[in-house]
A = this chain, B = another copy of it.
Amino acid sequence: MALKKAKSAGAKPRRRRDPDGTRTAILQAAGTLLAKDGPQGLSVSQVAQLAGVNRGTAYQHFQTREQLVEATTGWVSEQLCQAAFGKTTGGKSSRKPSPEEQARLVDPRSGVIEHIVEFAMENPELARAWLFHVLASPQPAHDPFWKMYRQRFEEYVKTDSAQPGIDVEVHTVLMLVGTFLWPVWARAHARTAKERQQLALRFTEEIARLSLYGTMRPEKYPKLVARLSKRTQPKPVAAKSGRAK
């Protein structure tokens, strides 16, 4: 078709006029570079180049490098929220979920972790970028995705399907960061989609096993059992509320 795209010479086919599109293109490029170099290593020049956008245009969408980084981390978190929970963070209210839907969202076996792992396995850049962000942030728990996950798990802990005495914060740290680092580790071993899926399955299976049975055989650690049961016995929920306000 005879249209734009000056063929031979390095002529640049000027980008079609689409502010939102370019913005997200920039964010996406910034995301992948963020994953590679971390927040401190991000340069507007590289981002613009990768996004196929003039540097000046980038500066038109984000006044300063710092703002670009900020916007990018927020965007990454948003992507993760949508992929994991299927809704945006900026609560457009959205009708209250039905009870069974509630249970599905809350129960750790319902697929939230599976979703996250699979998504992270297919988008390791986002996972890595999120980890960088969380690691660099002075307040990791302020991240929207973090808060979302934590809240969901907190609700699960209240149900009678959960073991008593769970420490929500510790669990959140373990699961979130483990779930996102696993693809980083696995990346070195899996090339094909099949291998990746297998590794994702391996992770979720081990999480399931650990969640059900733990790592140690209780009968081998009577003293530890006694101490822990003393901690959680009297009134499980009260014990937790003491520290996880």
Residues of chain A having any CB pair with chain B under 8 Å: 37-41, 108-109, 128, 131-132, 134-136, 138-141, 160-163, 165-167, 169-171, 173-174, 177-178, 181-182, 184-185, 187-188, 202-203, 205-221, 224-225, 228, 231-232, 237, 239-240, 243-244
- Could you tell me if B216 and A214 are in contact, using CB atoms closer than 8 angstroms? no
Distance (whole angstroms) from the CB of A82 to the closest CB of chain B: 23
Q: Which of A39, A141, A163, A182 has the most CB atoms of chain B within a 10 A radius of its CB?
A: A163
5 tightest A-B contacts by CB?
A40-B41, A211-B215, A170-B206, A167-B206, A38-B38
A217-B181 CB under 8 A given contacts A41-B41, A231-B205: no
Q: How far is it, in angstroms, between the C-alpha of A101 and the C-alpha of B225 when the chains are bound?
A: 23
Whether B171 pairs with A215 at a CB distance below 8 angstroms is: yes
Partner of A181, one of B177, B211, B237: B177
- Picked from B163, B173, B240, the residue with its CB within 8 Å of the CB of A244 is B163
CB closest residue in chain B, given A167: B206
Please tell me if the beta carbons of A210 and B220 are within 8 angstroms of each other in the complex: no
CB closest chain-B residue, reference A243: B218
Closest CB of chain B to A219's CB: distance in Å? 7
Contacts of A240 in B (CB 8 A): 213, 217-219
Residues of B within 8 A of A136 (CB): 38
A162 lies within 8 A of B217 (CB): yes
Q: How far does the alpha carbon of A221 sit from the alpha carbon of B167 in the complex, in Å?
A: 21
Q: Which residues from B are CB-within-8-Å of A184?
A: 135, 140
Contacts A178-B178, A211-B216 given: A202-B167 contact, CB under 8 Å? Answer: yes
Measured between C-beta atoms, what is the minimum distance from A215 to chain B in Å? 4
- CB A149 to nearest CB in B, in angstroms, measures 13
Q: A132-B38, A177-B178, A178-B177 are in contact. Are A185 and B214 (CB under 8 A)?
A: no
Note all chain B residues with C-beta closer than 8 A to A211: 214-216
| Chain B residues with CB below 8 A from A128, complex form | 135
Q: Are A243 and B165 in contact (CB under 8 A)?
A: no
**Which residues from chain B contact A109 at a C-beta distance below 8 Å?**
216, 221, 224
- Cross-chain contact A174 with B174 (CB below 8 angstroms): yes
Please pick, from B131, B167, B171, B203, the residue contacting A170 in the complex, using a CB distance under 8 A. Answer: B203
Q: Apart from A38-B136, A162-B217, list 16 A-B contacts with CB within 8 A.
A: A38-B41, A41-B41, A108-B216, A134-B181, A135-B135, A135-B184, A141-B188, A160-B220, A166-B206, A167-B206, A171-B206, A171-B215, A174-B210, A177-B181, A212-B218, A218-B243
